[in-house]
Amino acid sequence: MPSFSSKRASRWRWLWILPRLAFILFVGGVALLLWMSEQADKEEKRATLTSDMLWLEQNLRFHLTRNEELLGRIDHAHTSDARAFESFARTMFGFDSGLRQLIWLSAEGAVRLAHPAIMEPGLAGETGEAIPSRQSFRLARSIGKPVYGKAYPYFGNDWQFEVHVPVSRDGRIAGVAVGVYRIRDLLGDSVPWWLAERYRISVMEDSGKVLGTRSKVESAITEEGYQVSFDPPGWGLTLHAVPYHAPRPTASLVLSASLVILAMIVLWSLWILRRHVLRRHAVEEQLGQEHAFRKAMEDSLDTGMRARNLDGEIIYVNPAFCRMVGWSAAELIGRRPPMPYWADDYLDETRALHDRVLAGEGPGEGFELKLKRRNGEVIDVLIHEAPLIDARGQHSGWMGSIVDITERKQADERARQQQDRLQSTARLVAMGEMASSIAHELNQPLAAISSYCTGAANLLRNETPAAEVLPALDKAVEQARRAGQVVRRIYNLARHSEDRVELIDLGERVDAALTLMEVDIRQKIIHVTFDRQAKAIIEGDPVLLEQALLNVLRNAVESMRDTLPEQRQIDITLTCSDGYALLTIADHGCGIDAGVADKLFDPLFTTKAEGMGMGLAICRSVVENHRGRLSFEANPGGGTVFHILLPLAAQ
């Protein structure tokens, strides 16, 4: 059992690994999925940022190029008159050019016109007002192409830079149109709102200093950004864009949250399931043990058990029943009447009983029936039927207990037969005894009377005085009295032929039997010893017991017919132990041949010419009828020892 349960436990452990593994894989898979979707999201953002920035750079470049072209096209009309220049400047500022100041420099670099006007040069440096860069001017004039100047601060919190566009007229440089860009305004004009909503866009110097920023939303920004160099403005300006930390989409959040909740529900249900299964497992184990115990009990029963449903179909039989009838459970279960174990000669009776039981009218105290074994042997059984009540309290059939009483019945039959035999042998005893007593015992007194009377008659014939004849006659009278006694005893025997039970002192019965044997013993010169070691009181018929003792003693006497006179001895011992009295009668006679030993108790067996052969058979019946035993064995000193074992009377 323990090995079985430990095997099951290890199987359970293995079984539990699978859902655990599945759960871990599920959680891992979900986490991986989320991570991958996050990564894809980031990647997508990054790609958008790159393309947005490239677009922005293109847009800025387009702005600047367009402005360069427009500035390059400034004509004489605009540069000769301050008003015209102003209107030109306003037009330029008008279409989101990012330009905030326009300056017209002569070919020599002198400021001719400016809108808005330039402040005092000394002041301009401090405030950040545009002072056209000589270096850019010279470069532009010499190469004949637009040149951008270095960014410089404007009123502390803003930065600006200039573009010097040389203007040629009639094949020579007529002057340089200087456009001043304010970085914040440039960004404001060229970065569309939708871009500004997504990124914080700044223009930075090489050193990392931010010169201007365009952003629409005040929000946390992510760390990583994107940078593109901002040429041709030159001077190492770069455009830097940092995406705002966009809140994760609600759908993704809901998905993640629902996945986490789902995982927790799975975990919880797994835990509940495990608890339930463990409990169930424990109950199953207990049930299994109980079932095994019950089965062991049922299997070890000697009583047959058989259950039938309400239709009379067999639904259960235990091993004892199978052993009893010789059919296996598989062969019996499902069978309907007539059953294979119904005895052929009692089919109608059995069918009637079966129907009565099914109708609920079976004998409540049980009934005896004859059944047939598979080998055809008929057995007697005692059956008790009881209603079979199922777990729901419903009457679902009949449960029968079947006890094999064949042996008991046979024993009863044997006892009855023995009783009959005993009764007939008792009668035989009476008859035999009467006959043998009459023959045997009347013979002696009659012979004695005859010889005394013959003697007396001879004496009288010889006219012997009467006084001398008298003793012989007295003896004849005495013998006649003995003969009377014998007749009386025979009468008593006949009177006691019916069973009589009383308390008997076994020693006294031995004495009585010895007294009856006295003449014989004396005549045959036999020495008899009686060692009465205990007083044995038994229950029984004194006359029958005395006859049995007499018979054994007579056999002992007769067995020593050929024994030398000095060895003719009978030793009688009476002992008591363990509730039994044991009487031992040992002779030194001829002994019993091994060949005849087992026939000794057969009726009519005798080795004597004048014997009847009834004595020992009757003796044994008498002793057994007193719940005792009669046996014999060879006497080590020659002859035979008979043992009579009788139960002592209850005190």
Minimum separation from the CB atom of position 533 to ligand ADP (A): 22
Minimum separation from the CB atom of position 316 to ligand ADP (A): 57
Distance CA 289, CA 293 (A): 6
Number of residues that bind ligand ADP (CB under 6 A): 22
In the list 305, 315, 612, 649, the residue contacting ligand ADP (rule: CB under 6 A) is 612
Nearer to ligand ADP, 449 or 543 (CB): 543
Q: Determine if 547 is a binding residue for ligand ADP (CB under 6 A).
A: no
Distance CA 645, CA 573 (A): 12
In the list 611, 627, 634, 637, the residue contacting ligand ADP (rule: CB under 6 A) is 611
In the list 28, 608, 627, 633, the residue contacting ligand ADP (rule: CB under 6 A) is 608
Q: Report the side by side order of strands in the sheet with 210-214.
A: 210-214, 199-204, 238-243, 226-229
Closest CA to 267 of 28, 24, 35: 24
Draw the binding track, 505-544, toward ligand ADP (x: CB under 6 A; -: no contact): ----------------------------------------
**432: which residues sit within 8 A by CB, 6+ positions away?**
612, 614, 618
**630: which residues sit within 8 A by CB, 6+ positions away?**
548, 601, 616, 619, 620, 623, 624, 642, 643, 644, 645
Distance CA 605, CA 436 (A): 16
Nearer to ligand ADP, 68 or 587 (CB): 587
Q: Which of these segments, 292-300, 491-499, 509-517, 603-611, binds ligand ADP (CB under 6 A)?
A: 603-611
Maximum pairwise Cα distance, the chain = 229
Q: Determine if 615 is a binding residue for ligand ADP (CB under 6 A).
A: yes
Minimum separation from the CB atom of position 498 to ligand ADP (A): 24
Minimum separation from the CB atom of position 416 to ligand ADP (A): 24
Q: Determine if 584 is a binding residue for ligand ADP (CB under 6 A).
A: no
Q: DSSP letters of 611-632?
A: --S-HHHHHHHHHHHTT-EEEE
Question: Could you count the other beta carbons within 10 Å of the beta carbon of residue 184?
Answer: 20
DSSP state letter for 601? T
Distance CA 244, CA 49 (A): 11
Amino acid at 216: K
Q: Which of these segments, 91-99, 157-165, 392-400, 552-560, binds ligand ADP (CB under 6 A)?
A: 552-560
Minimum separation from the CB atom of position 597 to ligand ADP (A): 9
Q: Report the side by side order of strands in the sheet with 367-372.
A: 314-317, 304-309, 395-404, 378-389, 367-372
Minimum separation from the CB atom of position 516 to ligand ADP (A): 16
- Per CB under 6 A, contacts with ligand ADP among 554-583 are 555-556, 559
Q: DSSP letters of 354-387?
A: HHHHHTT-S-TT-EEEEEE-TTS-EEEEEEEEEE
Per-residue burial over 572-610, b if 16 or more Cβ lie within 10 Å, else e, is bbbebeeebbbbbbbbbbbebeeeeeeebbebebbeeee
Q: Where are the alpha helices (DSSP H) in 301-346?
A: 319-325, 329-332
In the list 331, 605, 635, 649, the residue contacting ligand ADP (rule: CB under 6 A) is 605
- Count Cα neighbours of 250 within 13 Å in the Cβ-side half-sphere: 0
The residue length of the chain stands at 651
Nearer to ligand ADP, 126 or 633 (CB): 633
Nearer to ligand ADP, 98 or 615 (CB): 615
Q: Determine if 631 is a binding residue for ligand ADP (CB under 6 A).
A: no
Amino acid at 372: K
Nearer to ligand ADP, 316 or 530 (CB): 530
Minimum separation from the CB atom of position 534 to ligand ADP (A): 24
Q: Determine if 606 is a binding residue for ligand ADP (CB under 6 A).
A: yes
Q: Which of these segments, 55-63, 69-77, 157-165, 553-561, binds ligand ADP (CB under 6 A)?
A: 553-561
Minimum separation from the CB atom of position 422 to ligand ADP (A): 16
Q: Determine if 428 is a binding residue for ligand ADP (CB under 6 A).
A: no
Q: Determine if 167 is a binding residue for ligand ADP (CB under 6 A).
A: no
Minimum separation from the CB atom of position 616 to ligand ADP (A): 4
Minimum separation from the CB atom of position 593 to ligand ADP (A): 8
Closest CA to 645 of 562, 593, 603, 584: 584
Residues near ligand ADP (CB under 6 A): 551, 555-556, 559, 587, 589-592, 600, 605-608, 611-617, 640
